[in-house]
């Protein structure tokens, strides 16, 4: 549905933390899911913050769909973001939380209400419009956040370990949902994850972040090949052995 | 958007700076105008007043803190008995009670014509002279600070983990060893903070000394400032006294901050978690007597306030125009002070948060928003009032600015407490909402009404009610600026006592006490149901 597909580019973006220097230079392909992987504290979330606009680089440019968005505030960028938690306002019900994606002051037209209802149907939340976030399960809360992404209708979707707090089966379901929506709306999805299975299942591209910089990026198939980037193989080797445990436990007994 | 929050904080700091700066300007102008007079005023009287200020504060601290340790320990050793919750609630009351009401209650109990005068006279073998003077000041300070210190010590004892207690009972520790190995280390750690807070409250105490000191022999610096301005009209001496008072409080605060004292008491009541140490029969009896005595000591003046208040001709008081006007004035001024205090606190909290989130966190400005603002308490209300009194009297009628002074000074004094009520809720909400609001473009008025207000209204109400109760019961500033045309309830109470209409005073005290109590209950109620 997007006339122009929105690729993302970070051009020589630099930022100094007191104890670490960040330097990103990467092109993220449009209409695809890119998984961002890497050790804790390597700068994955900071990378997303630059794209979303929560953090301004000290130098360099951020481009989305070819347009320079470096100086734009978060809400003026063609971007939606789903956080690991705190995606919802606890004192507002499901419909209002989704409606905020249409109007930040909740002034909703009939068409907006229809869009909200449609997004809730799409994410399997019909009938739960009047519930408060605390009356929902963890998975349902993230579905509300995704429903809001749908009504916002922006070409780029950023997700920072959105399903890390969910169990394996639920996480699989959510990944399916994301993959479906991505294909349907031709979204450019950037997904931070610790789970190689997620990356393997839904991502066509991978960016591997280490020590505040993109150490390697490219098609997912190359990464998982036996001659993939060495640092990535080392990281996944550890992660897979840890990540395999729950799958083992889930075997029917 | 972040800038706007910082600007609001700077504006709040500027208001506080103006208030305090104006007071200092008044002092400096007065001192410069009559420099020789200020120096001449430094005589033996000043030395005596300064020494008495320190002496009564030291004694009050000792008499409050040492028994409080024992009482707190008794409460912690018996985590569940009938009436424990009642004692804890009762111990929260003195903080809610205006000092002038408590002073009256103490006089009605221990005074020359008090309920206990007969018994005490018989014990003393003659006429009971009443508790004016040092004894009165000490009793009053202990009445206020023993419960406060007890609750702070109990909070400290509650931090001992249940496992340590299990270990102690497994090892068969009795009262003495478990005190030595478990309770004393915790109490000793919190001792400097608690004693420091009590000492600070006692050297800046005004109302109690004014009401119970009774005469030049038992006068502290604050009361001397008041007398030199209102009665002797000796501004040169007032300047000298104010400088001394500031020097004393600054020295005390410096010493306290070195000790790690907490400068603002907490109105909220913590409830002890149950745990299993078993006290022997001897210890249980001792603790029962101790708690009974503490209970009587705290409940007595409260009961006396209620009893004598009910004896007053309440119907006549209620129909008196002066009383009605004073009630209305009090409520309006206190409400204004409370709104101002909450606004100041909110601005400072928001600015501190915005600065902490920015890259240059830890800056001087951020610290000013944080701890700096709390140091308003270093400058006692009487000092600010005295400074402005001397400044304004050069240009205008001092009594005309009474409402503005009462509102602003009380707001400034309540502000640190309001910060403590608002900050946790604000920071938690900001953690959850800042990025989300930025992402969705929720800003300005929409953010205030849709997001911040629903989440913060409980904390704001707590802070507001607490601030209102504090300013409603305050006598400090209004004692300087009050007049027949601007009377608050505490001022009216003082006036009625001054003209020996004791029954009227008791009735007004009851009214004032109930108003403050109701507000504190509101504050407590909102404070307890915390937002998730």
Q: B439 and A74 in contact by Cβ < 8 A?
A: yes
Half-sphere CA count of B407, side-chain side, radius 13 A: 17
- Which residues in chain A are closer than 8 Å to B438, comparing Cβ atoms? 53-54, 73-75
Residue B296 CA to residue B260 CA, distance in Å, equals 32
| pLDDT classification of A3: cutoffs 50, 70, 90 | very low
In whole numbers, what is the pLDDT of chain A averaged over residues?
87
* Nearest chain A residue (CA) to B453: A91
- Whether residue B154 is contained in a domain is answered as yes
pLDDT digits (tens, 9 = 90+) for B270-322: 444 445 456 677 888 888 898 999 988 888 888 988 888 888 888 888 888 88
CATH code of the domain occupying A8-78+156-249: 3.40.50.300
B362 in A contact zone (CB under 8 Å): no
Percent of chain A having pLDDT more than 90?
Answer: 55
* Neighboring chain B residues of A73 at a CB cutoff of 8 Å: 438, 441
Tell me the three state secondary structure of residue A37: strand
Q: Cα–Cα–Cα angle for A145, A17, A62, nearest 5°? A: 55
- Which chain B residues are within 8 Å of A105, Cβ to Cβ? 442, 446, 450
CA B224/CA B419 separation, integer angstroms: 31
B452 within a domain of the structure (yes/no): no
Paired sense of beta strands A79-82 and A67-68, if any? unpaired
Element (H, E) at B59: helix B44-77
Q: Which of B431, B438, B451 sits opposite A89 (nearest CB)?
A: B451
Percent of chain B exceeding pLDDT 70 equals: 88
Q: Where in the sequence of chain A do the CATH 3.40.50.300 domains occur?
A: 8-78+156-249
Burial per residue of B232-241, b for 16 or more beta-carbon CB atoms within 10 angstroms, e otherwise: eeebbbbbbb
Q: Which of B436, B438, B531 sits opposite A87 (nearest CB)?
A: B436
Chain B contact set for A81 (CB, 8 A): 435, 439
The predicted pLDDT at position B71 comes to 92
The answer to whether residue B139 is domain-embedded is yes
Beta bridge partners of A17: A20
pLDDT tens across B110-167, in order?
Answer: 887 778 877 877 887 777 777 778 888 999 999 999 998 998 898 888 877 766 776 6
CB nearest to B532's CB, from A54, A100, A134: A134
Residue of chain A whose alpha carbon sits nearest to that of B450: A105
Minimum mean pLDDT among B104-113, B365-374, B497-506: which range? Answer: B365-374
ipTM for the complex shown: 0.73
Task: Provide the shortest C-alpha distance from residue A242 to chain B (in Å).
Answer: 30
Domain that holds residue B107: 41-301
- Exposed (0-12), middle (13-18) or buried (19+): which is B162, by Cβ within 10 Å? exposed
In a domain, B280, yes or no: yes
Number of domains in chain B: 1
SS3 B174: coil
Establish if B454 touches chain A: CB-CB under 8 angstroms: yes
> Is 80 exceeded by the pLDDT of residue A243?
no
Q: What is the CATH number of the domain that holds B288?
A: 1.10.3720.10
Q: What is the pLDDT of residue B373?
A: 66
Closest CA to B381 of B424, B344, B410: B410
B 376-435 residues with CB below 8 A of A? 431-433, 435
Q: Would the pLDDT of B522 be above 60? A: yes
Instruction: Specify if B531 maps to a domain.
Output: no
């Amino acid at each position: 549905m997007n006339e122009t597909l929105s690729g993302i580019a970070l051009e020589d973006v630099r930022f100094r933390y007191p104890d670490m220097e960040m330097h990103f230079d990467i092109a993220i392909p449009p209409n695809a899911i890119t998984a961002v992987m890497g050790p804790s504290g390597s700068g994955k979330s900071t990378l997303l913050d630059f794209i979303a606009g929560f953090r301004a680089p000290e130098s360099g440019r951020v481009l989305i769909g070819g347009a320079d968005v470096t100086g734009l505030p978060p809400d003026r960028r063609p971007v939606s973001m789903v956080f690991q938690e705190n995606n919802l306002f606890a004192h507002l019900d499901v419909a209002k939380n989704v409606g905020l994606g249409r109007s930040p002051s909740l002034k909703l037209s009939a068409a907006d209400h229809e869009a909200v209802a449609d997004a809730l149907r799409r994410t399997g939340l019909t009938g739960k419009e009047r519930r408060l976030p605390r009356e929902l399960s963890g998975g349902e809360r993230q579905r509300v956040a995704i429903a809001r992404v749908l009504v916002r209708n922006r070409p780029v979707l950023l997700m920072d370990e959105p399903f890390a707090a969910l169990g394996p089966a639920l996480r699989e379901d959510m990944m399916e949902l994301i993959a479906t929506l991505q294909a349907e709306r031709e979204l450019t999805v950037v997904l931070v994850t610790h789970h190689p299975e997620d990356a393997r299942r839904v991502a066509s591209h991978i960016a591997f972040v280490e020590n505040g910089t993109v150490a390697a990026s490219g098609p997912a198939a190359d990464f998982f090949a036996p001659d993939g980037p060495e640092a990535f193989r080392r990281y996944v080797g550890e992660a897979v052995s840890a990540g395999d445990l729950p799958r083992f436990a889930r075997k029917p007994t | 958007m972040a800038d706007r929050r910082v600007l609001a904080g700077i504006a709040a700091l500027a208001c506080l700076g103006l208030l305090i700066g104006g007071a200092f300007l008044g002092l400096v102008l007065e001192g410069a105008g009559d420099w020789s007079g200020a120096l001449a005023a430094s005589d033996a009287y000043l030395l005596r007043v300064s020494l008495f200020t320190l002496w009564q504060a030291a004694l009050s601290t000792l008499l409050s803190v040492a028994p409080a340790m024992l009482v707190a320990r008794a409460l912690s050793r018996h985590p569940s008995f009938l009436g424990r919750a009642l004692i804890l609630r009762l111990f929260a009351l003195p903080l809610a009670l205006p000092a002038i009401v408590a002073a009256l209650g103490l006089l009605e109990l221990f005074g020359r014509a008090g309920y206990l005068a007969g018994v005490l006279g018989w014990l003393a073998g003659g006429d009971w002279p009443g508790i004016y003077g040092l004894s009165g000041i000490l009793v009053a300070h202990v009445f206020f600070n023993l419960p406060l210190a007890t609750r702070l010590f109990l909070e400290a004892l509650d931090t001992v983990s249940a496992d340590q207690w299990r270990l102690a009972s497994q090892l068969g520790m009795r009262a003495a060893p478990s005190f030595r190995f478990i309770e004393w280390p915790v109490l000793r750690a919190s001792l400097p903070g608690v004693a420091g807070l009590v000492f600070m409250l006692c050297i800046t105490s005004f109302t109690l000394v004014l009401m119970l000191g009774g005469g030049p022999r038992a006068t502290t610096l604050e009361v001397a400032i008041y007398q030199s301005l209102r009665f002797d009209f000796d501004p040169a001496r007032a300047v000298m006294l104010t400088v001394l008072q500031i020097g004393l409080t600054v020295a005390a605060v410096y010493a306290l901050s070195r000790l790690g004292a907490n400068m603002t008491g907490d109105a909220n009541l913590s409830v002890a978690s149950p745990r299993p140490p078993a006290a022997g029969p001897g210890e249980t009896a001792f603790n029962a007597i101790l708690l009974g005595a503490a209970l009587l000591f705290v409940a007595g003046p409260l009961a006396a306030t209620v009893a004598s208040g009910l004896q007053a001709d309440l119907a006549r008081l209620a129909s008196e125009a002066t009383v009605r006007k004073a009630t209305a004035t009090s409520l309006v001024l206190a409400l204004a002070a409370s709104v101002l205090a909450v606004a100041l606190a909110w601005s400072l909290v928001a600015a501190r948060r915005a600065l902490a989130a920015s890259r240059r966190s830890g800056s001087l400005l951020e610290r000013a928003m944080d701890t700096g603002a709390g140091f308003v308490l270093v400058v006692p209300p009487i000092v600010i009032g005295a400074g402005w009194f001397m400044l304004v009297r050069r240009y205008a009628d001092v009594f005309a600015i009474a409402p503005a002074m009462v509102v602003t000074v009380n707001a400034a004094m309540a502000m640190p407490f309001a910060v403590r009520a608002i900050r946790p809720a604000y920071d938690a909400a900001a953690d959850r909402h800042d990025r989300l609001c930025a992402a969705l473009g929720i800003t300005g008025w929409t953010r205030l009404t849709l997001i911040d207000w629903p989440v913060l209204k409980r904390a704001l109400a707590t802070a507001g009610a607490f601030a209102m109760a504090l300013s409603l019961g305050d006598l400090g500033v209004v004692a300087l600026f009050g007049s027949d045309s601007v009377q608050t309830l505490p001022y009216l109470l003082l006036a009625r006592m001054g003209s020996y209409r004791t029954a009227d005073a008791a009735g007004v005290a009851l009214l004032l006490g109930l108003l403050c109590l109701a507000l504190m209950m509101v504050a407590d109620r909102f404070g307890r149901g915390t937002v998730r």
